[in-house]
């Protein structure tokens, strides 16, 4: 969690009691809301205890004066606040979160900032030790025996820990990164370009960021320790992106992007250096300019997918059709939206402009979008206009008030009209003008446009934009967005989506990880929900095929167990608790 400098609370002495630990001694129930428990016993004596044990307890805040434990302000009953409002001889205003150990003062209505050696710090440390007696941070196991461990907080690094927990459960990433680390050579077969000869490339050792990531993922899985320390990986991230230095509040989505981009850049550099050395040894490129040109040719035609693209890479295609001549154009880049509405737009991290594949070899036409003077290039497509804007799966419009991942994706992939200032500069209509001389002008027409997925990523990561600009400040959107455990992407894919088998009625992805942000912009905390599943088979020569077939059975009969992880604290939770959380990042793996 993160702390910020600010005024100190004046109520620490009167709002705490050093004898608190004696009151809690021998009581194993103090980590749950005692008032909710009493009400349940009075109102519903027939409720079975085993059902309750499967559910995650709500956020619990304990009074540092008397030890009363109550549910927080985001719960229905708000027993912690009601306890403070009950008259006492001394103020019972200081409470501590039993989830992330932050301290809050109801009188100040703010988080309490304290030194690491003072009266309050000592009390908090003792409470943590006491809590460990009843909720030990042992390395938990799913039904498959795969480990899930806590991660040490290095100083406001919960944003980092939450992402790493999700990556540690990305099975394809673990398998692929271990294979990459062991590779010392690479055979390049440029089948698409006969003029290029096959190359056997000797590879240098992986970059420090990639190597640190591999080490940490293996430590989380293999170590017998209950808590892993991600110090080396975080150090390497900070070296690549200085913005994460200084132990300040950071954003998990930005961290994920910088982390993946950093590993991707390292692998590209590693392979390119190997190709350069191989070309120099073969003496096929005599001068520097020719060497660069040949290297580019191999990059376009002969290289296998990069580590990051192999796991997370996909493509979005924008189709635009002139309403006048019915010519269609394609664009493979993700547009930047000015719409910040959480309900209307979602950013797909896995197919953004940093990861999307570039198709330079295509024949380009020109089009204008947003401002008439800005010219953008699109691919001309020879296709029956009647087949335009067809999707792989049937599209059903969401209910008007629906706020879900599906409704966001539906609106993101809706057909929109380009008109007036956004009109299309249609090269076909321009060429068809009778006057071809100097007096001919560009022809702008109304057009239809749709963004669809054209190549599916093995792992799909969705980012829900919860932080919005409001004037000069940034506010947080707390509206709940429903998300499915099994997501069908077929309605959001083009009818000619590349990596879909013929006859498949659906394109299914299974949820296995979530990053959650709780709290406010000024003081908040990142946690993770992860699903520990049986380990898939090791990578075969046919790549994803065997992996996907293994997961198909998992989708039809879901296996695995969900855990909620807050830094070092690991807690098993039910699916209903998972689906009620305020998701910020969602991690899905393809199963069909």
Catalytic residues: 158, 525
**H/E/C letters for each residue in 106-147?**
CCCCEECCCCCCCHHHHHHHHHHHHHHCCCCCCCEECCCCCE
Strand partners, 455: 315
Give the pairing of strands 110-111 and 103-105: antiparallel
Compute how many other C-beta atoms are within 10 angstroms of the C-beta atom of residue 358.
12
Compute how many other C-beta atoms are within 10 angstroms of the C-beta atom of residue 142.
20
For residues 333 and 357, give the distance between their C-alpha atoms in angstroms, rounded to a whole number.
9
Sheet with 60-63: strands ordered across? 69-71, 60-63, 94-97, 103-105, 110-111
Give the pairing of strands 583-590 and 508-519: antiparallel
CA dihedral 118, 124, 129, 132 (to 10 degrees): -160
For residues 100 and 158, give the distance between their C-alpha atoms in angstroms, rounded to a whole number.
10
For residues 165 and 530, give the distance between their C-alpha atoms in angstroms, rounded to a whole number.
7
Report how far apart, in Å, the C-alpha atoms of 334 and of each of 355, 357, 375, 425 are.
Answer: 10, 11, 16, 19
Strand partners, 476: 467
Region of 85 on the Ramachandran plot (φ > 0 left; ψ -120 to 50 alpha; else beta): alpha
Give the DSSP H or E segment for 509: strand 508-519
Compute how many other C-beta atoms are within 10 angstroms of the C-beta atom of residue 414.
14
Give the list of residues 6+ apart from residue 581 with CB closer than 8 angstroms, or none. Answer: 514, 516, 529
Strand partners, 524: 519
238, 259 contact by CB (below 8 A): no
CA dihedral 68, 73, 74, 78 (to 10 degrees): 60
């Amino acid at each position: 969690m993160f702390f910020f400098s600010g005024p100190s609370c004046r109520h620490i002495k009167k709002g705490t009691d050093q004898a608190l630990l004696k009151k809690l001694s021998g009581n194993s129930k103090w980590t749950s809301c005692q008032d909710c428990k009493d009400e349940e016993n009075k109102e519903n004596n027939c409720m079975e205890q085993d059902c309750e044990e499967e559910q995650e307890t709500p956020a619990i805040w304990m009074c540092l004066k008397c030890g009363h434990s109550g549910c927080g302000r985001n719960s229905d009953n708000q027993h912690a606040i009601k306890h403070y409002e009950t008259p006492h001889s001394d103020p019972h205003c200081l409470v501590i979160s039993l989830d992330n150990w932050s301290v809050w003062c109801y009188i100040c209505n703010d988080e309490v900032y304290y030194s690491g050696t003072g009266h309050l710090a000592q009390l908090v440390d003792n409470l943590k030790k006491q809590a460990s007696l009843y909720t030990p941070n042992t390395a938990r196991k799913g039904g498959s025996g795969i480990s899930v461990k806590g991660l040490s907080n290095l100083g406001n690094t919960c944003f980092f820990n939450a992402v790493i927990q999700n990556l540690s459960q990305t099975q394809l990433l673990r398998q692929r990164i271990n294979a990459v680390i062991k590779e010392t050579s690479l055979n390049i077969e440029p089948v698409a370009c006969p003029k290029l000869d096959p190359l056997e490339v000797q590879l240098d050792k992986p970059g420090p960021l990639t190597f640190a990531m591999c080490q940490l993922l293996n430590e989380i899985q293999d170590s017998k320790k209950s808590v892993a320390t991600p110090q080396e990986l975080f150090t390497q991230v900070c070296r690549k992106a200085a913005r994460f230095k200084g132990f300040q509040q950071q954003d998990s989505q930005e961290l994920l992007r910088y982390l993946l981009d950093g590993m991707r850049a390292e692998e590209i550099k590693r392979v390119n250096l190997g190709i350069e050395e191989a070309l120099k040894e073969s003496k096929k490129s005599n001068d520097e300019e020719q060497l660069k040109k040949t290297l580019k040719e191999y990059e376009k035609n002969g290289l296998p997918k990069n580590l990051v693209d192999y796991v997370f890479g996909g493509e979005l295609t924008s189709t635009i059709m002139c309403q006048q001549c019915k010519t269609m154009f394609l664009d493979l880049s993700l547009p930047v939206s000015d719409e910040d509405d959480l309900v209307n737009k979602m950013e797909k991290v896995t197919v953004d402009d940093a990861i999307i594949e570039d198709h330079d070899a295509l024949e380009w036409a020109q089009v204008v979008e947003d401002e008439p003077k800005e010219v953008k290039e699109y691919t001309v497509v020879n296709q029956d206009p009647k087949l335009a804007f067809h999707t792989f799966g049937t599209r059903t419009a969401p209910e008007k008030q629906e706020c879900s991942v599906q409704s966001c994706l539906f609106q993101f992939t809706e057909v929109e009209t380009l008109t007036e200032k956004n009109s299309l500069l249609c090269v076909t209509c321009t060429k068809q003008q009778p006057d071809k001389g100097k007096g001919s002008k560009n022809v702008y027409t109304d057009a239809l446009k749709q963004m669809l997925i054209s190549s599916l990523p093995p792992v799909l990561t969705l980012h829900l934009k919860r932080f919005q600009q409001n004037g000069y400040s940034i506010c947080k959107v707390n509206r709940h967005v429903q998300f499915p455990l099994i997501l069908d992407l077929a309605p959001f894919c083009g009818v000619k989506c590349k990596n879909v088998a013929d006859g498949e009625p659906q394109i299914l992805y299974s949820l296995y990880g979530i990053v959650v942000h709780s709290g406010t912009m000024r003081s908040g905390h990142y946690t993770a929900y992860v699903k520990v599943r049986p380990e898939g088979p090791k990578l075969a020569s046919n790549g994803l095929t065997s992996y996907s077939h293994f997961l198909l059975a998992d989708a039809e009969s879901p296996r695995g167990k969900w855990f909620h992880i807050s830094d070092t604290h690991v807690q098993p939770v039910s699916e209903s608790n998972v689906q009620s959380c305020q998701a910020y990042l969602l991690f899905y793996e393809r199963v069909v």
